Structure 1
Amino acid sequence: MTSRPETTKLGSDLEISRILTGLWQIADIEKDGTPVDLDAAAGHLADYAAAGFTTFDMADHYGNAELVAGRLLARHGEEADRPLAFTKWCPEPGPMTEDVVRAGVQERLDRLGVSRIDLLQFHWWTFEHPGWLDALRHLARLREEGLIKEIGVTNFDAAHLHVALAENLPVVSNQVSFSVVDRRAAGTLSDLCARTGVRLLAYGTLCGGFLSESWLGKPAPAEIADWSRMKYKRFIDAAGGWEAFQVLLAALGTVARRHGVSISNVATRWVLETPSVAGVIIGARIGESEHRADNLKLFGFALDDADRAVLDKAFAGMAPIPGDCGDEYRRPPFLTASGDLSHHLEKIPSIYQPEPVPGRANRWRLSSGSIWEPLAGFSRAMRVGDRILVSGTTATHGADHCVAPGDAEAQTTYVLDKIAAALTAFGASMEDVVRTRVYLQDVGAWEGPSRAHGRVFGDIRPANTTLAVGSLIGGYEVEIEVEAIIDPQ
């Protein structure tokens, strides 16, 4: 057995442990209102760091996790090889001005007690609100100022990570759910990482502890006390249920016995051997449940073709987790600890405000603030009774910024987000769309926009016309208009 965890490079010069210690359990420990002892908890983190587990992952909403990490970092001062503290900023959608973003970063700096954040990971709740691009631009400037060493994102699907990269934003990592139960990240997202060099940080790799010998051959739990298992029981149910999960545990057990390791080791090793994965985040209940010795076994074996054949057979009996990475926070089925998040999403303010058309009953319109609408005298969208018509929409961000110049697929993703926001403002959704018209500047670039269109409308299947028009005003690659009808209540 190796005595230290493997390390790898993230970004330009972050040397990270391939097993990151996740501190989300601090929020669970503190959920009764009793805070952890900061110095005692920092002492437990010091034990991890001394054993080579030098990289810690936390967030602004993980209780006092940042404060605990700050106590640990204070013990090391300006040491070049001090432990690394990765944190997340998860703001509510709204205008992402420079002042808002700077304040969010400064709070992280203050709580960690550092002058520069090692990795600031940005989470965004709904891409219908375009403030995420503003936030990442401001974060990039703060990185240039030296307040952030590297920028990551969390729970971004492949399409929106693609948009960020097409905007030349310096994103080095994406933290997503990735396990033998939830294998979404092994597909399109990993393909994008292979092309761009972005690395994945995988969480949920042990499904809250369900991926272990202690659950093999056991009935499904009737009651679950901690948030982590509440969440991952939902993933297990979505992946085919407890019976299919037991088949998977048995397969993992078969492989584990071959190598003399644990089921948890095999489950984690499968994720670690995915080329796009920089590291896996394994949670620790500080002072209660620590598995450092067992985790070190991860680096003493590798899966072979026979092992993978056993696991693939179990995977074949499972259902794929719906959607793409991060969808569990943005659309049904909501696979989170608290379940249905629709009430949270409904409270997020729309970027558009419909107004009645003067002198015309039962008609409303909305504007986006681009330079084109007042110039040409049209509305971004109109609602006439239960019918909604969305004008030709381009990848214009704010008043006049062209998103992802030259990248038709990225522009299509951004355009469809704008269209979705317009429909939402009128009380509709993409599910109500009955017709789309796609105008392409270059007919040879049809495949990317078609893929982006299919990601949104693959189950809805509206009528569609796609045209090559030779040239679009403003030099855009794609323009899209839609019609939607809201079914009577």
Structure 2
Amino acid sequence: MTATLRRTRTLRDGTVVPQLGLGVFQVPSAEAQQVVEEALAAGYRHIDTAAAYVNEEGAGAAVRASGLPRDEVFVTSKLRNGDQGYDRALRAYDETCERLGLDRVDLYLVHWPNPSAGLWQDTWRALERLRDEGRVGAVGVSNFLAEHLDELATFADQMPVVNQIELHPTFQQPDVVAACREHGVAVEAYSPLGQGADLQHPDVTAIAAELGVTPAQVVLRWHLDQGRLVIPKSVSPARMRENASLDGVELTPAHRAAIDALDTAARIGGDPRTFSISQIR
């Protein structure tokens, strides 16, 4: 295991999470077990899935088949929009654990605020109950904007430990990052490479050429240097190992400033103010 994969972050509630993990968004269900097994064999100890990805079964099977002690693998999953609401969220969490074949999830997130449904507030109260009863390791949110975090702060018993958001060089969401900092919420970046598009940017490729590393290694080091949790997706064992080989990659302040300047505010995924697909298939 590389030093990068041993690197952890301690969240506000004391939860310790590997800073670099593997995301399995869009990994087909039939392939998920093999992909996650390969990641665990490469040294990854943080796996991010979701009910909406329809691959929790494979991810959980890989964790169980790995032979690793359960407390050595950090597993995150997320609640679908169609499962929002207090009672439904409680049932949905049990269903996620059943699909994973695990007695509990280390981090459980509200996948989207889905404000048009008007249920995320009650959903959050359900997650707080799961946490208070010790049924889940930690609870957080995903795709929450500053306005959602500010509202949450008015009634939450405790704020989320994590907000998992789309974040990459050309889409940095500084207002959301600032709100997370204000509320003590760790930022976790999904689509951290801009689904590959940001790796073609000439400023990124120039830095990579200067350092003799790959563009992906440059961008992932940029994320880690800012203390973010980061979950790049890959189905290639070679790419997984490459993404985790950041021990000797060092960005200068000028490199970081050049990447910081790439923000175009161009989102790839859904808009949290309007995204309302049920996610139930």
Corresponding position of 1:477: none
Higher helix share: 2
TM-score, normalisation: structure 2: 0.85
Which position in structure 2 is the counterpart of 1:84? 74
Q: Distance in 2 between matches of 1:69 and 1:47?
A: 11
Aligned mate of 1:204, from 191, 208, 219: 191
Tell me what 2:44 maps to: 53
What are the residue-to-residue correspondences of 1:242-321 with 2, within 5 Å? Answer: 249-275=201-227, 277=228, 279-285=229-235, 288=236, 290-311=238-259, 315=262, 319-321=264-266
Return the offset for 1:312. Answer: 5.1
Which residue of 1 is the match for residue 15 of structure 2? 14
Where is the strand percentage greater, Structure 1 or Structure 2?
A: 1
The answer to whether residue 155 in structure 2 is matched with residue 167 in structure 1 is yes
Q: Distance in 2 between the 1:122 and 1:97 partners?
A: 12
Which AA in structure 1 matches 2:167? F
Residue 53 of structure 2 aligns to a residue whose secondary structure is coil
- Partner Cα separation in structure 1 for residue 136 and residue 196 of structure 2: 33
- Do the aligned partners of 1:157 and 1:189 also contact (CA within 8 Å) in 2? yes
Aligned equivalent of 1:178? 167
Q: Which runs of 5+ in 1 are unaligned?
A: 30-34, 217-248, 332-340, 346-489
Aligned length: 276
Alpha carbons of 1:11 and 1:309: their partners in 2 closer, same or farther (altered >3 Å)?
Answer: closer
SS in 2 for 1:210: helix
Question: Equivalent residue of 2:38, what SS?
Answer: helix
Distance 1:76 1:52, change over 3 A: closer
Q: Kindly tell me: are residues 160 and 36 of structure 1, through their superposed partners in 2, closer, same or farther at Cα, counting changes over 3 Å?
A: same
Letter in 1 for 2:106: D
Q: How does 1:322-333 map to 2 (within 5 A)?
A: 328-331=271-274
Asked if the contact 1:261/1:297 (under 8 Å) is kept, the reply is no
Q: Which has the larger Rg?
A: 1
Please state whether the residue corresponding to 2:106 is helix, strand or coil.
strand
The 8 Å contact of residues 144 and 272 in structure 2, kept in 1 or not, is answered as no
The Cα shift of 1:321 comes to 3.0
CA deviations 1:27-56 (Å, max 9, x no partner) are: xx4xxxxx516xxx5354233223321100
Kindly state the Cα deviation for residue 134 of structure 1 after the two structures are TM-superposed.
Answer: 0.8
Match of 2:65 in 1: 75
Partner of 1:111: 99
Deviation of residue 21 (structure 1)?
0.4
Structure 1 72/93 Cα, relative in aligned 2: closer, same or farther at 3 Å?
closer
The letter for the 2-side match of 1:251 is: D
- 1:190 aligns with 177
Deviation at 1:166, TM superposition (A): 2.9
> Contact (CA 8 Å) 1:87, 1:119: kept in 2 or not?
yes
Q: Give TM-score scaled by structure 1 length.
A: 0.51
Report the counterpart of residue 36 of structure 1 in structure 2: 30
Q: How does 1:353-392 map to 2 (within 5 A)?
A: none
User: Separation in 1 of the partners of 2:66 and 2:72?
Assistant: 6
Distance change >3 Å, CA 161–CA 319, structure 1 → 2: same
Which residue of structure 2 aligns with residue 147 of structure 1? 135
Give unmatched runs, 5+ long, in structure 2: none
Residue in 2 that maps onto 1:239: none
**RMSD of equivalent CA atoms:** 2.9
